Amino acid sequence: MWRRAAAILWLAQPEALWAQAADLPPEAASGEPLPAGVSIRKVGAQSVYVDAHGRTLYGMDMRAVTGRTGHQPLWCSGDCLTRWTPLAAPAKAEIMPAPPEFGGDRKAPRLKQDGPDWIVMQGPSGPQWVYKRVNLVFTRAGERPGTIGHEGEDALVWNSLKYVPAAPKIDAPADVTARLVDGRYLLVDGQGNLLVTHKGKACGTACADWRVFPAGMARRGMGAWTVRPDGDRAQWAYRDRPVFTIAGDDPADIPAEAEPLIP
């Protein structure tokens, strides 16, 4: 059925998996190489993927189509192709078979959540790039480079492909993670509070009232982290400077004498 309906993309019945994409935060990039001609550009306050001519790449998100209509949606074809141009993949690219979620062969492997960012499927005009498993990639005909004038168009079916940097791999205490804040990753504790240290060589009296980031029962460090005594309890230090916590993850709340921990 997939080959016969070359210009139609069939989807299985809508399920929770196909929630409307606009309700979900953009997924972080995997860090793998980008397709030839694709790059990342800052457009306003947002980093997006662009084609070789600098035009913003949009995803036709099949979750939004299914969530809106509740029916098996038509792929972009006919008049749609006068407004939207598929991002063509190389003719010799390996084409992934349409999985069951796309109405393909039930024996075809399902698309993995942690699979590659960019895959190739058979599109209405030949092999076409697909981003993050469900976004068929297009450019808008006639749109100038450096603009995102069609964001959320057609009831959120069309959305710019936003670039979120891959999360860094960190060697840190178990309750420390990296969180994307204002376009960069900062370290936070298990409750999501920002971790900070003082500016300069010595803390002095400036951080006397700051909340210590306790090391608990830990006695050995890891990576850039070490354990230092702090009265009756141990405190974590990062790159030889004591670590403190700031309630919440808003950088605006960081004291002037402090700076966030950057992995």
Of residues 72 and 42, the one with the higher pLDDT is 42
| 232-235-241 Cα angle (round to 5) | 135
Give tens-digit pLDDT for 7-64. Answer: 333 333 333 333 345 556 788 888 889 999 999 999 988 899 999 999 999 998 877 7
Of residues 67 and 196, the one with the higher pLDDT is 196
Token reading at 52: 């070789």
With b meaning 16 or more CB within 10 Å and e meaning fewer, what string describes 74-102? ebbeeeebebbbbbbbeeebeebebbebb
Look up tokens 């190739």; give the residue: 120
Residue 15 has a pLDDT of 35
Mean pLDDT lowest for which of 73-77, 159-163, 168-172, 250-254?
Answer: 73-77
Q: Over range 90-103, report the average pLDDT.
A: 74
Token reading at 187: 């370290």
**Which residues have CB under 8 Å from 181's CB, separation 6+?**
194, 249, 251, 260
Q: What is the mean pLDDT of the chain?
A: 82
Give tens-digit pLDDT for 221-232. Answer: 899 999 987 667
Cβ(91)–Cβ(120) below 8 Å: no
Residue 62 has a pLDDT of 78
Q: pTM of the predicted model, to two decimals?
A: 0.71
Give tens-digit pLDDT for 137-155. Answer: 999 999 999 999 999 888 8
Q: How far is the CA of 61 from the CAs of 58, 150, 157, 164, 166, in angstroms? A: 9, 14, 5, 17, 21
